[in-house]
Copies of this chain bind each other. A is one copy, B any other.
Amino acid sequence: MSKPTPLSGFPELLPAARVVEREVIASLSRTFELHGFANIETRVVEPLDRLAKGGEIDKEIYVLRRLQAGDEEGDAGLALHFDLTVPFARYVLEHAGHLEFPFRRFQIQPAWRGERPQEGRYRQFTQADVDIVGKDELPFHHDVEVMRVMVDALDALPIPPVSFQFNNRKLIQGFYRGLGMPDVTTAIRTIDKLDKLPAERVAELLVSDAGATAEQARRCLELATIRVADTSFVEQVRALGVEDELLDEGLAELAAVVEGCAAGGHANVTVEANLRIARGLDYYTGTVVEIFMAGYERLKSVGGGGRYDALASDGRTTYPGVGVSFGVSRSLIPLLADGVLAGSRAVPSAVLVAVVDEESRSVSTAVAGALRARGIPCEVAASAQKFGKQIRYAERRGIPYVWFPGAAGHEVKDIRSGDQEAADPASWIPPDEDLRPQVVRSSSSTEEKKQ
């Protein structure tokens, strides 16, 4: 074998960075479970005809083929999933008879897209999704519930501050309808381009593509400029003088989501109503959200989601859903690359048990067994080198303590301070913060301000 070269778009973490990723996934899972969300994993493959429903996503799909199988075999139509929503919708339909609705689930798995790799965009990437799906109906209060879960989950993470920017499709649609816009769908898709194009250009497109008058286009843009961190947007929209029942419903829903998510306050999350958030995808029908990370606006959103009144349907039953997704790889890999986050050490071991000579290795093994029995991760030195070399062995791995077994009694050394003291394998414990590898935030990251 020759030395392999990295594969672009398929990032791999070294053990210390993997510590960070695992802790983030564990933290997300803890929050999701506190809110009653059950974990599932779906198989990574779906029939191609479920994935390729037209649209540009087709290009990005990886299809599978057995190396030496003919096309007549069943596997020919399989492909890797490109998100966790399509497989979840299929899982709900396939297993509906065994699920209780409303069904709350979280799912943290990789997905694959063959797109051009760049910072935050990878060909294999991990997402964390929470969704609530109902059978035939799903009351609105679940919108507040599921968004609040993700707010709490991201607030608990050691990442830079994140901003949840909410809007509501009913609000936009009702406003456009009340305004007399001829083509609401195209108008929404056009206004969604505000993050890429200047406002004047979007106004032109609203006229040319969505059939708006110049005055209508102006008021659409006026709506899109409203952005506040409380429910004062309701008055601001009212002041624009458009009347519509759907608009009223959207305003009430958005106000409830903003209030419910902001309640109690969060240290690391800000909640805003941002009326230019549209999310281009057609299937959203109410609440929509995009999540941004301070200092990393160049990644665009690190998460998003919303309400879709028909997540899945088998022709007889419709399953409405509401959910939100967080890009674990999209946010973490840049943070790790920039040194904003790091693992405190590359090994789980809190203690290296030194070996006096190979004949007495079993003594060191017994010490390690006693420590493990009390939940202290440790390893026994690989060889009976001079103690100085064994200490450097621990240092290189970031192991904080070296244990010296001795006939006259045991001693343990904190190799950071150099302090050495007598210790009993049956009772000694390290400080809590040394027990497991920790996620370390660089000081520069704490200076970052919210956008």
Contact = CB atoms under 8 A, between A and B. Distances in A.
Contacts of A14: 40, 95, 98-99
B65 A379 contact: no
Interface in A150-197: none
B67 A40 contact: no
Nearest to A101: B382
B36 A377 contact: yes
A380 B145 contact: yes
Given A2-B314, A13-B41, A38-B18, A104 B379 contact: yes
Given A35-B379, A75-B62, A379-B104, A114 B13 contact: no
A215 interface: no
A417 interface: no
A91 interface: yes
A35 B124 contact: no
A349 B79 CA distance: 34
Contacts of A121: none
A42 B70 CA distance: 29
Nearest to A102: B382
Contacts of A264: 369
A50 B3 CA distance: 11
A281 interface: no
Contact of A94 (B6, B43, B114): B6
Contact of A40 (B18, B63, B376, B380): B18
Nearest to A317: B3
Contacts of A52: 67
Nearest to A48: B67
A100 B14 CA distance: 11
Interface in A78-102: 78-80, 89-91, 93-95, 98-100, 102
Interface in A370-395: 372, 375-380, 382-383, 393
Nearest to A259: B362
B67 A59 contact: yes
Contact of A15 (B1, B35, B38): B38
B378 A42 contact: no
Nearest to A66: B114
Interface residues of A, number: 96
A61 interface: yes
B346 A93 contact: no
Contacts of A12: 40-43, 91, 94-95
Interface in A6-22: 6-8, 10-15, 18-19, 22
A105 interface: yes
A414 interface: no
A234 interface: no
B66 A61 contact: yes
B62 A79 contact: no
B75 A67 contact: no
A85 to B, nearest CB: 13
B41 A18 contact: yes
Contact of A44 (B66, B99, B124): B124
A90 B4 CA distance: 7
A100 B372 contact: no
Contacts of A110: 44
A409 interface: no
A264 B312 CA distance: 55
A407 interface: no
Contacts of A19: 39
Contacts of A89: 1
B69 A114 contact: yes
Interface of A: 1-8, 10-15, 18-19, 22, 33-45, 47-48, 50, 52, 58-69, 74-75, 78-80, 89-91, 93-95, 98-100, 102, 104-105, 110, 114, 123-124, 139, 141-142, 145, 264, 312-315, 346-349, 358, 361, 369, 372, 375-380, 382-383, 393, 396-397, 436
19 contacts: A6-B94, A10-B45, A14-B99, A15-B40, A18-B41, A19-B39, A22-B39, A34-B375, A35-B372, A35-B378, A35-B379, A36-B379, A37-B348, A45-B124, A48-B67, A58-B67, A62-B67, A100-B346, A100-B396
